[in-house]
């Protein structure tokens, strides 16, 4: 089911509006205004059903994936840093400063499965267009391919597995040294 974002939310006196906290001339604020989020949402709505549990809003998930690419972060690292960065929150469509995680890191994998290869190709094209238009230097000037976006999840899973193996080996080594 499509995730909902209020287009004109009512002001809340208990929350801090992001526009009161951030510099509206910041590069990410400027970039967020240049991207046509409405057309992106329409383009990706074909991958959502009308029933079931509400998904993460399209702008939030695609904005998050774009920021992950720009800053070269893993799913988990992005989620942890998102809470600290009001510019990222504004870029992803938030109105108020958020004090909690936007969603679980597994939502990135769910989104990749939802859109499949066709959606990944759309994302790769979209990101390449944005990077070219805005002269963003991502990964030393190389364009993103659909394979890079699709394989990202598999590489991260393997690297997490390797970190666990190294951690277990280190624990085993310390146990053996004590004896």
The domain locations on the chain are 18-146
* Predicted local confidence at residue 10, as pLDDT: 64
Q: Quick one: tokens of 174? A: 């310390």
pTM of this prediction exceeds 0.85: no
Given this model, what pLDDT does residue 62 score? 94
Render pLDDT for 57-85 as a digit per residue (tens, 0 to 9): 999 999 999 999 888 899 999 999 999 99
Q: What per-residue confidence (pLDDT) applies to 5?
A: 59
Residue 42, pLDDT score = 92
pLDDT of residue 142: 44
Given a cut of 70, the residues of the chain with pLDDT beneath it are: 1-12, 134-179
CA angle in degrees (0–180, nearest 5) for 152-91-47 = 55
**Per-residue confidence (pLDDT) for residue 153, from 0 to 100:** 47
Tens of pLDDT, residue by residue over 123-137, are 888 888 887 776 654
């Amino acid at each position: 089911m499509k995730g909902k974002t209020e287009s004109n939310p009512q002001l809340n006196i208990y929350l801090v509006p992001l526009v009161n906290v951030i510099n509206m001339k910041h590069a990410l604020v400027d970039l967020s205004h240049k991207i046509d989020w409405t057309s992106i949402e329409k383009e990706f709505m074909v991958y959502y059903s009308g029933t079931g549990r509400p998904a993460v809003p399209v702008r939030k998930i695609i904005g998050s994936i774009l920021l992950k690419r720009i800053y070269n972060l893993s799913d988990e690292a992005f989620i942890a840093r998102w809470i600290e960065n009001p510019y990222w929150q504004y870029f992803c469509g938030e109105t108020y400063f958020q004090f909690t995680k936007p969603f679980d890191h597994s939502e990135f994998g769910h989104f990749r499965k939802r859109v499949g290869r066709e959606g990944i190709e759309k994302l790769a094209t979209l990101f390449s267009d944005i990077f070219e238009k805005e002269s963003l230097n991502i990964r030393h000037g190389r364009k993103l391919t659909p394979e890079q976006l699709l394989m990202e999840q598999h590489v991260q899973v393997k690297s997490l597995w390797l970190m666990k193996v190294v951690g277990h080996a280190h624990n085993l080594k310390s146990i053996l040294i004590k004896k």
